[in-house]
Every structure is written in C-alpha cells, then in structure tokens.
Chains A and B, each alone.
Chain A
Amino acid sequence: MSTDIKNSRIANFILQQRVIILLFVLIIVMFIIGEIVSKGFLAYEHICAVLRTASFLGIVSIGQTIAILTGGIDLSVGPLITMGNVFTCMFINGLDSNTLWALVVIILLGAFFGFVSGLGVAYLKISPIVMTLAVGSLVTGITLIFSQGAPKGLASSILRYIGVGSLLNLFPVIILVWIVLSVFFILLLNSSTFGRKIYYIGANEKAAFLSGIKTNLVKTLAYSISGASAALAGALMAGYTQTAFLGIGNEYILWSIAAVVIGGTSLTGGRGGYFGTIAGAIILILLESILTVIRIPEAGRRIANGAIILILISIYYSQKRQKL
C-alpha cells in the first residue's frame, strides 16, 4: 500500500517536472554529442568552461525569469549589463580596495533603473516591452555619456579571481556564485510569500489585487530585482574580460529571454520557475559551444539557436494542448 502511494508520488513528481527532466536529459545528450564530434568535450575542464560561460547568462536570467513570471518582460537587461560592466571597471580602476563598494553601487544602480521600469509598468500601466525598451535606451545613453564612448579602467584582482579563478584550482568561483544565487532565488520564488505573490500576479493579476496583494509594489520590486541581477552580471563579466566592452550586453537581451522560455516558463506569466531557466542557459551555451567546435560559422549558429527555440516551444505547447 505504502509503496503504491510512494510510486504514485514519484509518478506525480515525474509528471509535474517532466519539462525539467526533459531539459536535463537534453543537456546530457548534448554533452555526449559534443564528445562524439570532438574528443575532450566531456573533460572536467571543458565542462567547467561551459558552465562558467553559462553562469553569466544564468545570473542575468534570474531577473528575466522573475519579470516574465509576473507576466512582463525586461528588455533593458542588455544595456544594464553593459552599464554594470563599464562602470565596474571605471569605479574599481584595478584596485582591490574599491571592489566592494563598486559592486554595491552597481547593484543599487541596476536596481534603481529596474525600479524606474517597474514604476512605469505597474503604476502607469505602460506595456513592459516598451517601458523597458525606453529605460534601456536611457541606460545606454548614460553609459556612453559617463564613459565618453571609450571605457577605461581595469578589474581588480579580487574580481578577476571571481570571474576566472578556481577554488583550490578545482572549482570555478563564478559557478559557486551562480549556485548560491540560484539556491537563494529558487527558495525566494517557491517558499516565500513574495515569491508566491509573483506567481499569483502572473496567473491572474486582477484576482491577486482583489485578494489583497499589493500588485503594483510586487511588480516594481520584481523589475528592481531584474535590474540588479543584470547589473551584477555585467560587473562579474568585468572580472572575466578584465576590461570593459561597450557591446557586451547586446546579445543577452534575446539570450536571457530564450533561456527563460527554453526553461519552460510561460511568457504569459505565472507558470515555470528558475530551475528550468538554469537548464535553458546551459543548453544555449552548450549549443554555441558544440557549433563552435565543429566550426559552424556565425550564420549557422544563429539558425541553430532559432531552430532550437522553435522546436522546444512547439513541444511545450503541444503538451499543453493534450491536457486541454
């Protein structure tokens, strides 16, 4: 009897988490394909390198996941990453003593711009696409004005350690940072009242409002988190690239949305979570890595990226239709 219940629980778990299971199976399959096309793909160092690249995308996608869960979207992550990257190098200027306050200021700045987007989206009822677009344009301008179009400065050795260093020469620090942030945000989304409110708003905003949730406040906070995580990712990228680069964030607007969608979070909000996004980020970076290894040009990589998104959403949506 008890085994029956246990079995049905396991079956239930598999049924509920089938998207995530599918994604992690896909990751393993991709790693194996990588090993087949190029020997050494499954080496520990290479796996770490893939995960290290994925961790930047993963950190950006934290905020994107939360914004999309409320039923919105954040297109200002790209400019915010660039801002974080450029300003970090400017503030730190190669000195370890500047690192801490620079990181704090960067996160606060990111949160501030996210807050501005949130105000527009929540209180003025402006469509999130255009509001974050406008804020993104604003942030790009501010970055250019303060850097005069030629970013200066250097990352400090502490930041470089976080970006490219390894713990005991074994485990990359940046992956550890990603794991800590992931655990925190998965707990925040699943086990805190704030997290539950985000899901409620995404599922049905009117009902959430009528049941006493301060929907506008929660939405504003969600966008603030998104801004902060994008700016933090930009700052950490400075540790990876060592110097600032003005176009660094451009690719991440679409990539972060793709990671969230591949991870099974519904674009209408209310369904999904950060765990799937982690898989989405790893899949995107893995695909890029495999295609680079077999020397597919830029053109082919873009087509493959688009194709994988289309294939995965067609799988998700056909599942949903069967349920109906």
Chain B
Amino acid sequence: MKEKQQNLRLYIPVYSIAIAIYIFAGIIEPTFFTWNNNVNLFTRITPLIFAGMAQTFVILTGGIDLSIGSIIGLTNVLAASLPFIDKPLNIVMWIFIPPLVGLSMGLINGLIISKGGFPPLIVTLATGAIFQGITLFIMPIPGGSVSLSIARTVTGTMFKIPNSLIIFLIFLYIFHLILKRTEFGRSIYAIGGNEAIAYESGIPCSKVKIWVYGVSGLLGAFAGMFLSAWIFSADPLIGGPYILNSIAVAVISGTALSGGIGGVTGIIGGAYIFHLINNILNLLGISTFYQFVAKGLVLILALTISSSGITFNIRSILRTFFLKTKPIEKIGE
C-alpha cells in the first residue's frame, strides 16, 4: 500500500501536466481532439516510449546508456535490410533478428561495464560510436524497405484502435511487471538504491547489470524496428535525437538519475509532454526553432520540480521554498 502511494506521488505530476498540455492543445485547435489526430499521436510517440523504457531500465540501476541511439539506428537499418517480400520466413526473420542483435549489443555494453568496472557514460559513448560505424557500413545512406504486411500491421488500426497503442501498452505492462513483480526487477531497484548494500545482501549485481543493459538494447531494437515499419525504410542516423530525448523522457516521467527511484508507468505521460510541445507550437504557428527553447525550459522546469521534491502538502512546499538552512545530509547528493 505504501509503495502504491509512493508511485502515485511520482506519476501524478507527469500525467497532470500531460493532460493539461493536451487540453490546452485542444482549446487552441479543436480538431486536436479528433480520433484521427490521436491515432497519429499514438504512432508518433511509440518509438519514444520504447527508447524511454530502455533508458529507464538503465537509469534505475544508476547507469546511463548513450549508445541507445546507435542501437536504434543499427536495428532500424537491419530491419529494413532483411528480405522484404511477404513470405512467412521473411516475417519471422524480421521479428527475431533485430531484437536478437539489439539484445546482444546491450549485453556487450553490460559485460564491458560490469566486468571491467568502467563508468557507463564513457563505455556506452565508445560502443555507441562503434555501433554507429557498423550501421554506416551496412547502409551509408537512407534506403531499404520493409515487408508491406508488417508495415500495415504495425501502423494500422484494428476496430479503429491503433495497433501501435496496443503494442506499447502490452510492452509497458510486461516491463512494468518485470520491474515490480520479479526478482530481477527488485534487484534493479536495490542496485540503484545502494549497490554495496545490494551486493552484501546477496544480489548478483554484475549479472543483473549485464542483463539490464541487455534489456535496454532489446527495447532499443523494438524502437528501431517500429521506426523501420513506420517510415517504411531506414536511415542510419535516425537514432541520433533519441539519445537525449530518451533521457529527457525518463527524467520527466519521474525516474531519478541517481537510480533506484521511478519506473516505466510514467513514460506515456513523459513522451506525451515531450511530443505535444512540438505539436502545440506548430498549431500556434510558431517557428519550429522555438521548439528547442520550449523543450529546454520544460526539462529545466520538470527537473526543478522533481529535485525540490514536490508534494501536495502545502507545509512542505513552503518549507522547501523558504527554508534557508538545509540539513547537512543533503549536501553533495
């Protein structure tokens, strides 16, 4: 019960801001509420949701994955380079090869980080450069194609409900259960909270960390595959923006970069906030250049709110804003 309350405290700000922005967008442009526009939105945010989930898993252990963009790019290119004629074998290959490659890329990251004891930031930076090099070897310029039936299934609708919505809801639920109900998931939180104590209490830290990066690579592969089905081809540099966007979405959705706090439940809200900012600026007819400013400001705002530990208790809000002397324990955190 206590954990549920804690979760609510994490996710209420995300979803209330997302809903507020959504309503604001609808007021500016009434067609925003039409089902077609929403179907479009669901499809657009799906890759961001997968990338955000991938990053969340890593961040929960206190790490960071800067190679996620390259993994998305590589799997995107792979998915579009496979034979694309509608045959059962080709479809099976499309479904299994990119995730396996993504998983192994992630496992390589995890092995280097946990067996070598190197900082995740610089390792994933280096492996990201290597993965991107491999991607550019396979496909130096945008191209490739995807089986028509796959593209139709992934981006189509069923009884007016977009398949992308069903896909990301299923995956979110599965990975939410993995985090909250399995030993593996609980170990992730324990490692993020305090790795030394987690190790002392018998959690196989290095094994868990290797698999966390593996899961991150797998989710990155799903993002890359979805992108290939959606744009019906591939672009070796498509993953670039997802490095920073995935971190931003994870942070906005309530996951602490220090690790141990957060989850995947807030990610839909985070992805919505991030995507709707662009949408609203477009609707208002403001130059796309302002999107960067708006994204930066929203991110700073979200960070300020989350770092000041917002609650709905007026007394504690006042205390955080007016208390001059901070307890010493807080320094250096």
Whether B117 lies near A317 (C-beta < 8 A) is yes
Per-position binary interface string of chain A over residues 282-324, scored 1 when its CB falls under 8 Å from any chain B CB and 0 otherwise: 0000000000000001111111111101100110010001000
- Measured in the bound complex, the distance between the Cα atoms of B125 and A129 in whole Å is 13
Within 8 A of B (CB), among A249-271: 254, 257-258, 261, 267-268
Which of A27-35, A141-149, A183-191 makes up part of the contact surface?
A141-149
- 8 A Cβ contacts from B126-167 to A: 126-130, 132-137, 140
Give CA–CA (A138, B300) in the complex, Å: 10
Q: Which of A215, A306, A321 is close to B130, meaning CB atoms less than 8 Å apart?
A: A306
Does A165 make an interface contact (CB < 8 A)?
no
Interface residues of B in 285-320 (CB under 8 A from A): 287, 289-297, 299-300, 303-304, 307-308
Task: Tell me, in angstroms, the Cα distance from A301 to B117 when the chains sit together.
Answer: 26
A151 part of interface (Cβ distance < 8 Å): no
How far apart are the CA atoms of A309 and B112 in the complex, in Å?
13
Question: Is A142 a contact partner of B293 (Cβ separation < 8 A)?
Answer: yes
Contact A299 B289, CB 8 Å, known A129-B247, A138-B297, A205-B331: no
User: A303-B129, A317-B116 are contacts. A137–B292 as well, Cβ < 8 Å?
Assistant: yes
Given contacts A134-B296, A140-B292, A299-B137, contact A313 B121 (CB under 8 A): no
B326 nearest CB neighbor, chain A only: A125
Tell yes or no: B257 within 8 A of A by CB. Answer: yes
A140–B294 alpha-carbon span in the complex (Å): 11
Most B CB contacts (10 A, CB to CB) among A127, A209, A267, A306 go to: A306
Size of interface on A: residues with Cβ below 8 Å to B: 53
A174 within 8 A of B: no
Residues of B within 8 A of A149 (CB): 289
Give, as a whole number of angstroms, the nearest-CB distance from B288 to chain A.
Answer: 8
A297 partner residues in chain B, CB cutoff 8 A: 136-137, 140
Residues on A with beta carbons closer than 8 Å to the beta carbon of B134: 299, 303
Contact with A along B259-302 (1 / 0, CB 8 A): 00000000000000000000000000001011111111101100
- Give every chain A residue within 8 A of B64 (Cβ-Cβ): 129
| Residue on B nearest A149 in the bound complex, by CB | B289
Q: Is B208 an interface residue (CB 8 A)?
A: no
Main secondary structure of the interface of A (DSSP, over half): helix
CB closest residue in chain A, given B236: A299
User: A316's closest neighbor in chain B, by CB?
Assistant: B118
B304: chain A residues within 8 A (beta carbon): 120, 124, 126
Tell me, rounded to whole Å, the shortest Cβ–Cβ distance linking A91 to chain B. 19
> In the assembly, what is the distance between CA of A137 and CA of B127, in Å?
24
Which residues of B sit under 8 angstroms from A301, Cβ to Cβ? 133
For the complex, is B123 an interface residue (Cβ under 8 Å from A)? Answer: yes
Residues of A within 8 A of B330 (CB): 125
- For residue A181, which residues in chain B have a CB less than 8 angstroms away from its CB? none
CB–CB A73/B121 < 8 A: yes
Of all chain B residues, the one with the shortest Cβ separation from A267 is B119
A145 touches B289 (CB 8 A): yes
- With contacts A303-B130, A313-B118 taken as known, whether A258 is within 8 angstroms of B292 at the C-beta atoms is no
Known A137-B296, A145-B290; judge A302-B132 contact (CB<8 A).
yes
Tell me, rounded to whole Å, the shortest Cβ–Cβ distance linking A36 to chain B.
Answer: 24
Q: Which residues on A sit within 8 Å (CB–CB) of B292? A: 137-138, 140-141, 144
A26 to chain B, nearest CB (A): 17
Q: Does A60 lie at the interface of the complex (its beta carbon under 8 Å from any beta carbon of B)?
A: no
Asked whether A120 and B303 contact (CB < 8 A) given A310-B112, A310-B123, the answer is yes
Assess the B126–A131 pair: CB atoms within 8 A. no
Minimum CB–CB distance for B21 against chain A, Å: 17
What residues on B are CB-neighbors of A218 within 8 Å? none
A134-B126 contact given A140-B292, A145-B289, CB 8 Å threshold: no
In the complex, what residue of chain A is closest to B251 when comparing beta carbons?
Answer: A130
Q: Nearest Cβ distance between residue A295 and chain B, in whole angstroms? A: 14
Q: Which residues of B contact A134 (CB under 8 A)?
A: 248, 295-297, 299-300, 303
Residues of A near B119 (CB, < 8 A) are 267-268
The answer, yes or no, to whether A9 is at the interface (CB within 8 Å) is no
Give the chain A neighbours of B137 by CB distance below 8 A: 297, 299-300
Q: Do B307 and A254 touch (CB < 8 A)?
A: no
| Contact A314 B116, beta carbon cutoff 8 Å | yes
Q: Is B177 an interface residue (CB 8 A)?
A: no
A130 near B248 (CB under 8 angstroms)? yes
B 67-126 contacts with A by CB, 8 A: 112, 116-119, 121-123, 125-126
Indicate if the CB atoms of B122 and A215 lie closer than 8 Å: no
B104 to chain A, nearest CB (A): 16
Known: A124-B303, A302-B132, A303-B129. A313 touches B123 (CB 8 A): yes
In the complex, whether B332 has a CB less than 8 A from a CB of chain A is yes
Q: Are A302 and B140 also in contact (CB < 8 A) when A209-B331, A215-B331, A314-B116 are?
A: no
A264 to B119: give the CA distance in the assembly, Å: 13
The answer for the CA separation of A127 and B250 in the assembled complex, in Å, is 13
Cβ–Cβ contact B248 & A133, under 8 A: yes
A-B residue pairs in contact (CB < 8 Å), sample of 17: A73-B121, A124-B304, A124-B308, A126-B304, A129-B121, A130-B257, A130-B299, A138-B300, A141-B293, A145-B289, A210-B328, A297-B136, A299-B135, A299-B137, A302-B129, A302-B133, A313-B122
| B residues in contact (CB < 8 Å) with A | 64, 112, 116-119, 121-123, 125-130, 132-137, 140, 244, 247-248, 251, 257-258, 287, 289-297, 299-300, 303-304, 307-308, 328, 330-333
Q: List the interface of chain A (C-beta within 8 A of B).
A: 73, 75, 120, 124-127, 129-131, 133-142, 144-145, 148-149, 204-206, 209-210, 215, 254, 257-258, 261, 267-268, 297-307, 309-310, 313-314, 317, 321
- Additional A-B contacts beyond A126-B300, A127-B303, A130-B299 (18; CB < 8 A): A73-B121, A75-B244, A120-B304, A125-B307, A127-B258, A129-B247, A133-B299, A134-B295, A137-B292, A138-B292, A140-B292, A141-B293, A254-B129, A257-B121, A267-B122, A299-B140, A303-B129, A306-B133
